[in-house]
Amino acid sequence: MATVLNGGSLWLAAVSNLRYSSRNMETPLSPLEFARRARRVYPTREAVVCGELRLSYEDFFVRCDCWSAALQALGVKQGDRVAYIAPNTHGQLESFYAVPQIGAVLVPLNYRLIADDFVYLINHSGARIVCAHSDYLEAVDSIRGHLEDGHIDHWQVTLKIGFALNPK
């Protein structure tokens, strides 16, 4: 291999000597594939730390499965949108796996927005369900009457240590 020092040529010269085959990359590492692999390969390793709560990969993904099942029990199906208002907590992270694994679309909303912004984003997104961390219930309660008729099927309250279902 010749050493060429201009721009990216050094990198290109080094990489050209590597032998790649499709066998080296057997599985695309999408977020859901990451979850399946981490659960299978590292079930007992610590995956999530949120305050005092510590979860292994297995425990974390069991919670995601429960959340998915709860959403399905509420009628969420493939293609439905689920709005979520929460700070950076384990519950928010769970939503990033639980919602897509049933084929639904997660609509994460920035919890720092004002109530009028929530109205616009929820209406515009077409969300059927709004999930909110317990710290944002006042903001969520203040907008219920401003959402398009028949738009929201359920309101969810996610607690600091888990989630509870609170349909209409």
- The answer to the question of residue 61 being in a domain is yes
- The answer to the question of residue 101 being in a domain is yes
- The answer to the question of residue 21 being in a domain is no
pLDDT, position 155: 62
Q: Per-residue confidence of the chain (168 residues) as pLDDT tens digits?
A: 444 444 544 444 544 555 555 555 566 778 899 899 999 999 999 999 999 999 999 999 999 999 999 999 988 999 999 999 999 999 999 999 999 999 999 999 999 999 999 999 999 998 988 888 888 888 888 888 888 765 566 565 554 334 443 333
pLDDT, position 121: 94
- At 98 the three-state DSSP class reads helix
CA distances from 155 to 10, 75, 151 (A): 56, 13, 11
Calpha distance 55→91 (Å, rounded): 12
Q: What angle do CA 64, 57, 101 make, to 5 degrees?
A: 30
- The answer to the question of residue 107 being in a domain is yes
Q: What CATH code is carried by the domain that includes residue 67?
A: 3.40.50.980
Calpha distance 118→109 (Å, rounded): 7
Calpha distance 44→56 (Å, rounded): 5
Give the total number of structural domains in the chain.
1
Global pTM? 0.74
For residue 72, how many other CB atoms are within 10 A of its CB? 14
CA 89 to mean position of chain CA atoms:
11
- The answer to the question of residue 7 being in a domain is no
Contact 104, 76 (CB under 8 A): yes
Calpha distance 165→42 (Å, rounded): 30
Domain containing 140 equals 31-165
Per DSSP, 16 falls in state: T
pLDDT, position 102: 96
- The answer to the question of residue 150 being in a domain is yes
